[in-house]
């Protein structure tokens, strides 16, 4: 797959060098910005990586007009993608270390795990981010994915300041029973921290990260329980989504692009 629009290209990684460039972006975002733990080897290489990387597809947003001429600095956005079929043939889902994913492992239709999603600071919320989502929609459509899921993070490993957003998610966006994955017992952190009548919707929404709100706008749900990831300095929730709405957005993009209006679609 390959999508070209203005200064950006979206495509899957085609080489070890492409994957390393995604890992360099992940290092800048997760380690340098968010304070995630990294090994001495990762610090030396300035790449955030793990044993799951070889088993995932890596979707890249490439800024062809980036100031740096180093190809390692041209990747402006990235996703790790693993279908259920890939998980069964390989290492399994990354999220299984945080959540009981049995219902998704045995799901009768194709699933897709998203991970390590990040966009460089200068492109968050802009055209590049929307184009990355368009590429994700193409990937989903081509593989007939029906359920998409993955852990999404709040910055910081302290649950107390997140009482409002976590409670709001629990009471208003809990996944239906047949898809309701649950944080593993040894890591389970309750999300219904406040009683319903003490949840302030406006305050909760203010504290929910933009990426999580984007999934919710597309009809997303959350699993039960949060996971405190001290290595990454985050509190994680598991997001799940029926992909039909994302596929419709992808098809809408191409129908408008065919009429010459791609620039308007990309903001």
- Residue 24 included in any domain: no
pLDDT tens per residue across span 158-177: 999 999 999 999 999 999 99
Strand partners, 242: 147
Looking at the structure of the chain, the number of domains it has is: 1
Q: Rounded to an integer, what is the distance from CA 230 to the centroid of its chain?
A: 18
Q: How much is the pTM?
A: 0.86
| DSSP code per residue over 127-189 | HHHHHHHHHHHHHHHHTT--EEEEEEEEESS-SGGGHHHHHHHHHH-BPPGGG--EE-GGG-B
- Residue 22 included in any domain: no
Q: Which two tokens stand for residue 133?
A: 């989502």
pLDDT over 80 at 260, yes or no: no
- Residue 32 included in any domain: no
- Residue 2 included in any domain: no
Strand partners, 3: 10
Separation CA 258–CA 70 (nearest Å): 33
pLDDT over 50 at 262, yes or no: no
Separation CA 251–CA 201 (nearest Å): 33
- Residue 239 included in any domain: yes
- Residue 48 included in any domain: no
CATH number, position 203: 3.40.630
- How is residue 68 annotated by DSSP? -
**Amino acid 250: pLDDT:** 55
CB distance 147 to 112 below 8 Å: yes
pLDDT tens per residue across span 175-186: 999 899 999 999
Q: Rounded to an integer, what is the distance from CA 183 to the centroid of its chain?
A: 18
- Residue 46 included in any domain: no
pLDDT over 80 at 247, yes or no: no
Range(s) of the domain holding residue 118: 78-265
pLDDT over 90 at 110, yes or no: yes
Helix runs in the chain, H state only: 16-26, 40-45, 84-89, 102-105, 127-142, 163-172, 201-207, 210-217, 244-257, 262-265
- Residue 230 included in any domain: yes
- Residue 246 pLDDT grade (very low, low, confident, very high; cuts 50, 70, 90): low
CA dihedral for 251, 254, 259, 263, sign (positive or negative) = positive
Neighbours of 161 (CB within 10 A): 12
């Amino acid at each position: 797959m390959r999508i070209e629009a203005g200064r950006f290209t979206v495509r899957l990684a085609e080489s070890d060098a492409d994957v390393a460039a995604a890992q360099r972006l992940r290092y800048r975002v997760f380690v340098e910005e968010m304070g995630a733990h990294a090994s001495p080897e990762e610090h030396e290489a300035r790449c955030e990586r793990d044993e799951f990387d070889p088993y995932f597809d890596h979707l890249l947003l490439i800024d062809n007009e980036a100031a740096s001429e180093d190809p390692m600095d041209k990747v402006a956005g990235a996703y790790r993608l693993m279908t259920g079929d890939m998980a069964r043939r390989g290492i399994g889902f990354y999220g299984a270390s945080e959540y009981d994913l049995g219902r998704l492992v045995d799901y009768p239709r194709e699933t897709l795990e998203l991970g390590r999603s990040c966009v460089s600071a200068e492109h968050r919320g802009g055209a590049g981010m929307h184009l990355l989502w368009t590429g994700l929609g193409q990937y989903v459509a081509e593989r007939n994915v029906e359920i998409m899921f993955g852990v999404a993070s709040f910055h910081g490993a302290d649950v107390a300041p997140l009482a409002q957003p976590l409670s709001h998610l629990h009471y208003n966006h809990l996944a239906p029973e047949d898809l309701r994955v649950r944080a593993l017992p040894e890591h389970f952190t309750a999300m219904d921290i406040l009683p319903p009548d003490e949840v302030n919707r406006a305050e909760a929404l203010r504290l929910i990260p933009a990426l999580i709100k984007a999934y919710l706008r597309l009809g997303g749900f959350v699993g039960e329980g949060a996971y405190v990831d001290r290595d990454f300095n985050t509190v994680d929730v598991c997001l799940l989504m029926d992909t039909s709405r994302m596929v419709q957005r992808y098809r809408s993009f191409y129908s408008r692009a065919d009429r010459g209006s791609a620039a308007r679609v990309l903001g």
